[in-house]
Amino acid sequence: MPAVLRLDDRVALVTGAGRGIGAATARALAQAGARVALVDRDREGIERTADLIGGGGGTALAFTADVTDAPAVERAVKAVAAEWGRLDVLVNNAGIVRDATLASVSDDDWADTLDVNLRGTMVCTRAVLGPMRAAGRGRILSATSVVARMGNFGQTAYAASKAGIIGLTRTWARELGPLGITANAVAPGFIDTDLVRGVPHKVLDRLVARTAAGRLGRPEEVASVYVFLASDLASFVNGAVVGVDGGLLL
């Protein structure tokens, strides 16, 4: 990896790091030289990710926590800062999907989706402001989605939550930019993860046919964008929504 993309001496915290894009992002950040804190409700998943990072020569800490549990998130952030003395990068990747059309979406599914995807993103970002402000620099990177831009049948709650993340990101870019902290969002298209593999084949075939690249994305392709945005190369990128969708929106 070119020296300009190295993240040596940086500390990153990745939520939803137990599998899929979160796990791939944590590993990519570690490969670039960052020490990585892993946060997920899935203890087994983050331990597996931590083992893979350690096996590759990297350094990781694992914290079992729900992003909606503000005290647990704050404890994890304090532990990271105490262990490594800093926190430079936050990747808000944790999220859930509760598919339902407007006519069938339940109040509970709506509330759960916005609680995890939207409030959880706010909770984690608020928690890292202390060490980032003290350092006078930081990167807030949050996962939105292609569906926030184009909508998707049967994803009323999910699309709303991911569209909200774009609003949060642009607001934080304005608020935190003068403090040396940038905020950007990454909008993946349909990526080859466990979640997408559960989509019926006919639906996936239609999505692939609409994608200019003619295939699903790979978690590592999304992770590489996070590494760039975490690096010094992206120091003047702020308030952006970076699409990683293979041309689905063309």
Q: What strands lie across the sheet with 138-143, from one edge to the other?
A: 60-64, 35-40, 11-15, 89-92, 138-143, 181-188, 241-244
H or E segment at 225?
A: helix 219-230
Write b or e for each residue in 56-77: b if 16 or more Cβ atoms lie within 10 A of its Cβ, otherwise e. eebbbbbbbbbbbebebbbebb
Q: Residue 53 class from Cβ within 10 Å (0-12 exposed, 13-18 middle, 19+ buried)?
A: buried
In a domain, 68, yes or no: yes
What whole-number distance in Å separates Cα of residue 226 and Cα of residue 17? 13
**Considering the domain boundaries, does residue 186 fall inside one?**
yes
Q: Give the total number of structural domains in the chain.
A: 1
Query: Which pLDDT value is given to residue 242?
Result: 98
15 lies in some domain: yes
Query: Is there a domain that residue 190 lies in?
Result: yes
Structural domain for 46, as ranges: 3-240
- The C-alpha atoms of residue 239 and residue 47 are separated, in whole angstroms, by 33
The answer to the question of residue 176 being in a domain is yes
Residue 57 lies in a domain: yes
DSSP secondary structure, 3-49, as one string: GGG--TT-EEEEESTTSHHHHHHHHHHHHTT-EEEEEES-HHHHHHH
**pTM to 2 decimal places:** 0.96
Position 248 in a domain: no
Q: Quote the CA–CA distance of 60 and 67 in Å, as a whole number.
A: 18
CATH number for 21:
3.40.50.720
Q: Do 101 and 109 form a contact (C-beta atoms < 8 A)? A: no
Domain assignment present for 250: no
For the chain of 250 residues, list the mean pLDDT of each consecutive stretch of 10.
78 98 98 98 97 98 98 98 98 95 96 98 98 97 96 93 98 98 97 81 88 96 98 97 96
158 is catalytic: yes
User: Which of the residues 15, 50, 158, 168 is marked catalytic?
Assistant: 158
